[in-house]
Amino acid sequence: MIREKNSKKPLVSIYTLTYNQCETIKKLFQDLISQKYPFSRYEIIILDDGSRDATFENLARLAKNSLVTVKLIHCHHEEDYLNAKRWNQCIRVADSKTEVFIQIDDVRVRPDFIAQHVKWHTGDDDWLVTGAKFECDSISWDISKCRRRSLAGPGGIASEIGASKAIWGASLSFTRKIMDKIYCPPYDVPYDERMVGWGYHEVEFAMRIQKSGVRLIYDPTAGVFHQNHTKTTEMIRGLCRDEIVRDGEDRNIRYILKKHRLKELQSW
């Protein structure tokens, strides 16, 4: 593959979490090592949250032959969604010179994915960037398959957004400069580790970033493909998704409202 050779491009740490999705993460790994971005200017960080399907072993074999720096983290599964804690773990092992952080989920990405995020972080303005989420049963980049397509501008172009509730963690990027603005130990480091259970960790994160004066942008070209969840796939992973979503969402929304002294979250 022909790669760009400009070593002056920002140094990027792209990180993700995985749990019992061995085949999915292997495909994502191949997407990540095939990016149209100088291989010496980005690193891949993958945290395996105690998978039982040989995820870590397979990733370790793949990493040995990668031209891109790969950092693998293996954790004991703690039976709850600890995304804030896990994302912080990924950020802590990132290169100390990292300029741009890109957070993703167990998804598929296009060869220009990193470049589409980085373009927002090379100018004078500070942005928190979130990408489109293309959701269906098989891989597609059709904007009509995107649940949040209404956030885009005419013709699907990038658009500034006002509601932090529209931010989601499966395609999210920010600079170290932005992260340092909201870094506040012992809990907001930078994600709030008091938040447990499913959902809204990135919304709370975005609220603090927005309060610091950073603007939010929704860019469909920085999007990812997320395969639809089914009860069968979630049972294979050992999860009861409906229960996890319901309980975590309610708990975390109440927490955010109390922390930020709000009556309700701004709708997008």
The yes-or-no verdict on residue 118 having pLDDT over 90 is yes
Q: Is 154 part of any domain?
A: yes
pLDDT of residue 136: 81
Q: Is 246 part of any domain?
A: yes
Residue whose C-alpha is closest to residue 162's, from 211, 124, 105: 211
- How sure is the predictor about 140, in pLDDT bands with cuts at 50, 70 and 90? confident
pLDDT of residue 1: 33
pLDDT of residue 120: 97
- For the chain, the C-alpha Rg in angstroms (whole number) is 18
Q: Is 267 part of any domain?
A: no
pLDDT of residue 257: 96
Pick the range with the lowest mean pLDDT from 38-52, 126-140, 236-250: 236-250
pLDDT of residue 148: 84
The whole-number average pLDDT for the span 75-89 is: 88
- Six token digits for residue 133: 């989420």
pLDDT of residue 149: 87
The yes-or-no verdict on residue 2 having pLDDT over 50 is no
Based on the number of CB atoms within 10 Å of its own CB, is 96 exposed (0-12), middle (13-18) or buried (19 or more)? exposed
> What share of the chain has pLDDT > 90, as a percent?
70
The yes-or-no verdict on residue 229 having pLDDT over 80 is no
Q: Is 3 part of any domain?
A: no
| Contact yes or no for 152/145 (Cβ under 8 A) | no
The yes-or-no verdict on residue 89 having pLDDT over 70 is yes
* C-alpha to C-alpha distances, 146 to 106, 187, 221, nearest whole angstrom: 17, 33, 12
Averaged confidence pLDDT in the chain = 89
pLDDT of residue 240: 56
**Residue 230 or 225, more confident:** 225
- How sure is the predictor about 106, in pLDDT bands with cuts at 50, 70 and 90? confident
pLDDT of residue 232: 56
β-strand partners of 45: 15, 71
What CATH code is carried by the domain that includes residue 246? Answer: 3.90.550.10
Q: What 3 state SS string does the chain have?
A: CCCCCCCCCCCEEEEEEECCCHHHHHHHHHHHCCCCCCHHHEEEEEEECCCCCCHHHHHHHHHHCCCCEEEEEECCCCCCCCHHHHHHHHHHCCCCCCCEEEEECCCECCCCHHHHHHHHHCCCCCEEEEEEEEEECCCCCCHHHECCHHHCCHHHCCEEECCHHHCCCCEEEEEHHHHHHHCECCCECCCECCCCCCCCHHHHHHHHHHHCCCEEEEEEEEEEEEECCCHHHHHHCCCCHHHHHHHHHHHHHHHHHHHCCCCCCCCC
The yes-or-no verdict on residue 81 having pLDDT over 80 is no
Pick the range with the lowest mean pLDDT from 56-60, 107-111, 119-123, 197-201: 197-201
Domain with 211 in it: 12-259
Query: In which region does residue 127 sit, left (phi positive, over 0), alpha (psi from -120 to 50) or beta (all else)?
Result: beta
pLDDT of residue 3: 41
Which amino acid is it at 220? P
Contacts by 83-87 with C-beta closer than 8 Å and gap 24+?
83/17, 83/169, 83/191, 83/195, 83/201, 84/191, 84/192, 84/193, 84/194, 84/195, 84/196, 84/201, 85/191, 85/193, 86/17, 86/47, 86/49, 87/15, 87/17, 87/169, 87/191, 87/201
* Angle 53-55-58 from CA coordinates, rounded to 5°: 120
The model scores a pTM over 0.95: no
Q: Is 142 part of any domain?
A: yes
Q: Is 181 part of any domain?
A: yes
Q: Is 147 part of any domain?
A: yes
Total number of domains constituting the chain: 1
The whole-number average pLDDT for the span 219-234 is: 76
Q: Is 268 part of any domain?
A: no
